[in-house]
Each structure stands twice: as C-alpha cells, then as structure tokens.
Amino acid sequence: MTKRCVAYTKATKAYLPGSIVIEMSTISPETSRELARSGKAHGVEVLDVAISGGPPLAESGTLTLLGGGGEQAFADCAPIFSALAKQHFHLGPSGSGTAMKLVVNAVLGVSMQAIAEALALGESLGLEREHLLKVLSQTAVIAPAQQNKLLRAAADDYSPQFPMALMNKDFRLVMERAAAAGVPMPATAAAYQMNVAQAAKHPEQDYSSVIVQMRELSASGASANPVEQPARVPSQ
C-alpha cells in the first residue's frame, strides 16, 4: 500500500458512520478499492469520482464526472454532482471511476502527441502555422478538449491548465495498469516517453507543450522516429 493510501485510509476513520466520502483524485483503481474497503470497515461509503475536463470546462460548469462505488450512494450524491458538472456517470463498483479516468487520459495524452506530430508535419510541408492551427481546430478529428489547446498554441501559450508533470503521472498509472493486465499499448508507451522527455525540461508547462517539442525536433532534423524503445515505467 502506498504512503498516500495509508494517509487516506487513516482519514476514513475521522468520518461518522453513515457518511459518504467523495474522493475525486486521479489515482490507481487499486487505491480507490483500498479506500472503499477501509471506509466500509468504519461504516463509511467511499466513492471514487474522477473529473474529466480542465479549468475552462470547470468555469463553464461542463465537466464530466466518472464514478465508482455503491450505486445508491452515488445516486444520493447526484445533487452535488449536478452542481459541479454537466454530466455524471456511475461506471460500477469501487475503482471503476478511476479506471475510466485512466482510459480517458490515455486517449487525451496519445491524441495530443498525434496532434503535435501532425502539426510538425504540416509546417514541414509548407503550411502556414496560423492557418494550420486554425483549420485543424475546426475539423471533425479534433475533440473539444483539444480545440482550446490549438488556440492557445497559436498564441504560444503553454501555461499550465493540465501540467506536464500531472500528465506524466497519469501516463505512469496507465502503463502500470496495462502491464499488470497484460494489455499492450505501443502508441501510449511512445507518447509517454515523449512526455517524459518534455517534462524533464519543462515540467511546469501544459501537457500540450509537446507541440513545441515536436516542432523543435522537426526543425533540428532529428530522426523521423525518435522513440526507438518502448517506454519503461520509472521506478518509484
């Protein structure tokens, strides 16, 4: 059990029996289940309710909440969820919310790497950057979450909405769970390695700063395939 999990499980003892605790961090599903077991031992129901969506969606009240835990407890908390988010989903027993968040963030990280590579290709083919970013952001292949990133990239704004360090933490969780489940994720592993390299230089920047990374690699004439080995999960 991690130190963080130990701290959380101790915290469940502080709540009165019959309480419902809503844990909203992006953590391992195993940690979520451990928290639920600890809570149950003290008469406390612990829900894992992960948040999908960054600051702009939070400000507009259009977040998505991904929940795991007791179905009735989740339903009892619906008024809270409705005040925080546009939509909320109960995915199943404890750990299901955080598991779904890892699925979502795997897509988020890999798609941003793909966008960064495609932008570098577009510029190398002679497309003007302003037009490239504007038009790409309006195509069907760009999700709403990524449209804002392209607009910010047009202004060279990589201030953190979702810091690179947090994206890498989520990549690590994804790769750990994939390895444990025997699920090969080669594209995710490659995107993770590129994120690790960028985070080593600019951990405080937004995860979309891989756009800058790929632009620099392209300009320097680096290998067309800079990732030659699968990413390894860093030891803790």
Distance of CA 137 to the CA centre of its chain: 20
CA dist 228 to 83, 130, 193, Å?
46, 31, 10
Tokens 């620099």 found at? 216
pLDDT band at 10 (very low <50, low <70, confident <90, very high): low
Whether residue 225 is predicted with pLDDT greater than 70 in this model: the reply is no
Question: What's the pLDDT tens digit per position in 149-165?
Answer: 999 999 999 999 999 99
pLDDT band at 9 (very low <50, low <70, confident <90, very high): very low
Question: What's the pLDDT tens digit per position in 92-147?
Answer: 999 999 999 999 999 999 999 999 999 999 999 999 999 999 999 999 999 888 99
CATH number of 133's domain: 1.10.1040.10
Q: Which of 45, 66, 94 is the last residue of a domain?
A: 94
CB 53 within 8 A of CB 64: yes
Q: Which of 75, 94, 113 is the last residue of a domain?
A: 94
How many domains, in total, are found in the chain? 2
Handedness of CA 26, 151, 111, 189 (dihedral sign): negative
Strand 45-52 relative to strand 63-68, pairing: antiparallel
Same domain membership, residue 215 and residue 109: yes
Whether residue 231 is predicted with pLDDT greater than 90 in this model: the reply is no
Whether residue 42 is predicted with pLDDT greater than 60 in this model: the reply is yes
Count, in order, helices (H) and strands (E) of the chain: 11, 4
Give the structural domain span for 118. 100-220
Q: Which of 94, 117, 145 is the last residue of a domain?
A: 94
* Mean pLDDT across the chain: 89
* pLDDT above 90 as % of the chain: 79
Same domain membership, residue 193 and residue 172: yes
Question: What's the pLDDT tens digit per position in 49-98?
Answer: 999 988 888 888 889 999 999 999 999 999 999 999 999 999 999 999 99
